[in-house]
Each structure stands twice: as C-alpha cells, then as structure tokens.
Amino acid sequence: MVTITIDEKEYEAEEDMTVLQAARANGLRIPTLCYHPSLKPSGSCRLCVVEVPGRSSGRQTTMLSCILKVKNGMEVKTESKAVNRARTRAFKNLLQMAPQAKSIIAMANSFGIDPGPPPDGCIRCRLCVRVCKEIVGPGALRMEKRDGVNYAVPIEGLCIGCGTCANICPTKVILVEDRENTRTIKIRDEVIGKHPLERCEGCGKLYATPKFLDHIHKRTSSHTEMKSPHNYCSTCAKLFSDRVKSFSKRVQQ
C-alpha cells in the first residue's frame, strides 16, 4: 500500500492503482467518458486531468489520472485553475464532435464548467436577415449578440408572414407552420411572426397572410399593367393567367 494526498487529504491506495482508481475507491469524483474498468486506459476523452508535481522539475503539471500510476507521497489536485482550463478545453473538444450529447453537457455543468450555448442549427450565414431586408423589404430579422454569440433574432411587429426566410435558410432552422387559419414562423424557440391566413378567391385554400398581400399590393400598385387586386394563390393565378392568354389568342385570330 502507498499513501497519496488528494486535495490535501491523505488516502491509502494499492501500488498498481492509477490515480483515477484510487480517487474512485475513496468516493472522489473525477470526470471521464472513455474509461472502463475492464479495458486498458487510453486517455482519449482527456477529461480526467489532475494536477501533480512534475517528475523531474517538481513544478505543477497536469496529467491524465486514468493512466497516471500512484506513488507513495504523491500530491494530487483535482481542482485548480490549470485543471479547470484543461478540463474545459476537453469538454469543448468533445462537444464539437457531439454537440447535442446531453450526457456531456450535464457532466460539464456538474463540474461547474459552462459548455457554451446549445446548438441551434443556425450557421450565422445571415441569408435570412439579408433577404428580408434587401429583397422582401420589411427587415424583420437582425443579428444580435447574446453572451458573446451572434444570433439571428426577430424584430417585433415587422414580419409579414411570407416565409422567404425559411425558404432560403440552408439548414432549415427557420420553420413555417400553417395550422388551421394561422401561420407561425419561428427560429429556435422565438416567434418571428404569427398571422391569420387569407383564402384564395379561386380554390378557397388558405394561402397567404393579410400583411403579405398588403405588402405586395403596395409594391406593385404603381405598375402600369396592374389590374384590380384579386387574392389568388399561385396555382389559381397561373391557371387564370393561362386562360386569359388563350382567350386573347382566340380573339386575335
């Protein structure tokens, strides 16, 4: 048996034990994901870092407790600034590979390490912001920094319910849901806009929001060939347009 000190308390351990095994045998928590008692330790996850004096220099250094063998008189720290830095880096690296792993996020939180904002599917390409402002016009979205991270967020009251932002989103994180007579457009858990739906005068299908139809009317009202406004869905509008063209050709003949 050897005597080691872990976080300023002395413990006895068997000579062939690792620091991780000795800690666990005495009920001390050290995080790890890749360790299994039936397998040879690999140190892959790099979470089980501890601080010990260097073998040659004697200066404090961080090492992986799953592969570090105990030695008589060894002094180990499971909590320190150096340990926290190394542990945080390890958690961040793991979450880059498995960003939605709830077990890793929960473990990081339990050790007082902020795993960062949860993944939301948004790649911050700003296409939704730009198309709404530069093409459609309302400018209902903007980029906002929250806790040091940029987010595409809605500007209250400006959405017209066209759904262009959802159509252009490359990762489909913006959702359009038409339920009964209401259209809801959301990004993450934030509502961009919620609107009633108008019925097509041709087929009766619910197809567009009043704000969108009003927006189109204002944008096209000055056009010289603009006829009196009718609320037709795209299918009916094309159908009636084709019929008018066909009728005009017959008249001209």
- Note whether 106 and 61 are same-domain residues: yes
Residue 120 lies in a domain: no
Alpha-carbon distance values, 76 to 14, 37, 55, 90 (Å)? 16, 21, 13, 19
- Note whether 24 and 75 are same-domain residues: yes
Residue 186 lies in a domain: yes
- Note whether 171 and 243 are same-domain residues: yes
Q: In this structure, which amino acid lies at residue 157? A: G
Residue-number span of the structural domain to which 62 is assigned: 2-110
Per-residue model confidence (pLDDT) at position 111: 93
- Note whether 58 and 140 are same-domain residues: no
Both tokens of residue 47?
Answer: 């979470």
Query: What's the CATH code of the domain at 13?
Result: 3.10.20.740
- Note whether 64 and 160 are same-domain residues: no
Question: Does the pLDDT value for residue 251 go beyond 50?
Answer: no
Residue 157 pLDDT grade (very low, low, confident, very high; cuts 50, 70, 90) = very high
Residue 122 lies in a domain: no
- Note whether 135 and 236 are same-domain residues: yes
Tell me the pLDDT tens digit for each residue of 116-128: 877 888 999 999 9
How many domains are there within the chain?
Answer: 2
- Note whether 142 and 30 are same-domain residues: no
Per-residue model confidence (pLDDT) at position 100: 79
HSE-up (13 A, CA, CB side) for residue 26: 19
Residue 14 lies in a domain: yes
- Note whether 84 and 143 are same-domain residues: no
Tell me the pLDDT tens digit for each residue of 48-81: 999 998 776 668 999 999 999 999 999 999 999 9
Does 136 or 119 have the greater pLDDT score? 136
Q: Which helix or strand (DSSP H or E) is residue 210 part of?
A: helix 210-220
- Note whether 61 and 97 are same-domain residues: yes
- Note whether 38 and 104 are same-domain residues: yes
Q: Of 110, 142, 166, which residue sits at a domain end?
A: 110
Per-residue model confidence (pLDDT) at position 248: 45
Tell me the pLDDT tens digit for each residue of 85-115: 999 999 999 998 988 788 999 999 999 998 8
